[in-house]
Amino acid sequence: METTKEPQNHECNICKRKKKHISATKWCRDCTEAYCDDCCDTHSFITSLTNHKVVNIKSIQTNEDEIDLCKISDACPVHSSKVIEAYCFDHLQFCCVLCVTYQHRQCKDVQAIEDITSKKDDSCSFESSLTEIQSGTEKLLQAQKNEKITLRKSFSNTESIVIDSVNSAKRQLDSLLMSFSKELKMMEEKYQGDIDSKLDIFEKLLNNIIELLRITTCIRSYGSKTHFFIHLRKSKKELISEIEKSVELLCKTSVVKTAVDIEKALHRLMEVKQVGEVLITEEKKEFVTEYIGILIYQSLLHTSTVFPYLKLIKRKLVHELSGYDIFGGLCISDQTIALCCKSTSSPGSPPCNLILVDASTGKVTYQCYISDDPKGLAYDTLNKTLYISSSAGYIYSLKCDQPIMQPRQITHTRTQYYGGICLKDNFLYANVGTEIKKMNLNQNNELQAIFSISNSKSNAPSGFNALTIDYKNDRLIHASENSNVKSTSLDGKEIFSSFMPGITSLVFNSNGFVYAVEKKGYVSVITEDGKQQKSVLYKCDKIKDLRDIWFDKSENSLFICGNEYVELYDVAY
């Protein structure tokens, strides 16, 4: 995109083809060509062109944003004598008729620009995406500035502690103090330099986004749909490349705190060889995770870019339920967790196998008994209803917004549930034996088989809760035979299969990652396309036998349960 402060003279396209050089006075938004007065009169007499929108070319050259829309060329990038007439979505390339005929005739998704612009208008959605990214970038930039200030204060405090300690010691510490201060300054400059680099990158990114938003708004207002489509595709490709470079730098570890260990040095004053050791503390930065989530959701950042940096950081032990085995859980609000469990204590103890827990304090706020062991949980946020599957073949519902909450049986089958249930569009999906079944909750009908997850009629997958919904792509993800994690369409058509033994539970987040827990303690992540996987946790703090895994509402934190514990981990890049 080129901008200019002085209007430029454009020649009439028709006259130019006749090898005449006459200045243009009109611009046709539909033909995307400039005309002189005579050629414009001819253009207006042609019946098929009478509805075309023709404007004074000066109004385009001197619009308030000083953007010359005539500079958006519709010439084919390969065959300069031809105009762009189609777009290949397989290769993300503009095409003329020759490109379509020779280079893209085998491609599956090649569409005429006229058809694309008549069916779909991405202008508002693209500007909305830019606005959201602008907001996220501004927040990120401010957070980086705050981090710089915090870092400076932290280093300053560290130096003050050391200086105070040294001033109270003997004169021979003066040389060590000078040495330490020099080393500390060098470290501060190094880490401050790292943050300055990030600030420069994201200040540049923010300015580019603001400028792109301004240009896009103008083109949508003054340009044709072809203008906007060409600008949209070119700009988005450039923006994605710039964002990937920025995020790669962003994912590098940042220093958030400094400290110094001087106590031993003071006790062994005469043996000291250095004044102290600077301790660097690294922490998860939530604003980084949230910003990356925005970019992935807007399809401006591919998950493979941040996949190598993905990790889990232990935050705390949320809950300990002594005398019970916890089989599954989920968040029904920001503050409340639902857990299903089985008593392991002596006979005669008060039974409760469905409980609600305060996520911040770990205290039980509600408990009830279901006649058979619950295995899987699903929650309907809109209707505030919890659904529970059980080992004896029952499914229960529990209205969580009632003063008195009482589980109600809604269906039963002779086949044992192996656990997992999930919800989508008023349908409940469940692992039933060797099959995935569903039922319409509005009609309260029985579960109907959709497809089989095992070739054997007797061997079902061992996962208790290994079934989840990928709402982003409208598909199921579940455990299958031969230790595979499979992604299938809602009617059972396989999309990908990834080998992962011992899976007990799966969960998918909107950033495009599948999180899976193995019974022996591993937590692994699979990319959205199933092509990459990695382990992000090799063992929990307390849990030995992992049973279930789920996200909080923000999807920035991951809960893991098993044995009598629930632990909380932060997702970080």
Whether the per-residue pLDDT at 124 is higher than 50: the answer is: yes
pLDDT interval class at 264 (50, 70, 90): low
Least confident of 16-25, 45-54, 134-143: 45-54
370-394: pLDDT as tens digits: 877 788 899 999 899 999 888 777 8
Given a contact cutoff of 8 angstroms between Cβ atoms, the answer to whether 144 and 198 are in contact is yes
pLDDT tens for each residue of 107-123: 988 999 888 877 756 65
Q: What is the pLDDT of residue 1?
A: 30
Specify which of 47-56, 319-328, 524-533 reaches the highest per-range mean pLDDT.
524-533
Ranking 85-94, 138-147, 255-264, 561-570 by mean pLDDT, the lowest is: 255-264
Query: What is the structure's pLDDT at 409?
Result: 85
Domains of the chain by range and CATH? Answer: 13-118 (3.30.160), 123-301 (1.20.120), 311-572 (2.130.10.10)
Q: How far apart are CA 3 and CA 548, in angstroms?
A: 56
User: Which pLDDT score is estimated for 7?
Assistant: 40
Q: Which of 26-40, 71-85, 413-427 has the highest mean pLDDT?
A: 26-40
Higher pLDDT pick, 32 / 147: 147
Distance, CA of 385 to CA of 439 (rounded, Å):
16
Helices in 223-328 by DSSP H: which ranges? 225-250, 263-267, 286-297, 303-306
Please give the residue that has the higher pLDDT: either 32 or 452.
452
Q: pLDDT tens, 48-105?
A: 887 787 888 877 655 555 555 555 667 788 887 788 899 998 888 999 999 999 899 8
Residue 4 confidence (pLDDT): 37
The DSSP line for 34-90 is EE-HHHHHHHHHSGGGTTS-EEEHHHHHT-TT-B-GGGS--B-SS-TTSB--EEETT
Q: Which long-range contacts (CB under 8 A, 24 or more apart) does 523-528 make?
A: 523/312, 523/549, 523/558, 523/560, 524/500, 525/307, 525/310, 526/485, 526/498, 526/500, 527/303, 527/304, 527/307, 528/303, 528/472, 528/473
Asked if residue 311 has pLDDT above 60, the reply is yes
Q: What is the pLDDT of residues 452-486, one digit of tens each?
A: 887 655 545 455 568 899 988 889 998 887 778 89
**Three-state SS for 440?**
strand
pLDDT of residue 239: 85
Provide the token pair at 283: 């922490």
Mean pLDDT of the chain: 82
Express each pLDDT in 265-297 by its tens digit. Answer: 555 656 656 767 777 776 667 778 888 888 887
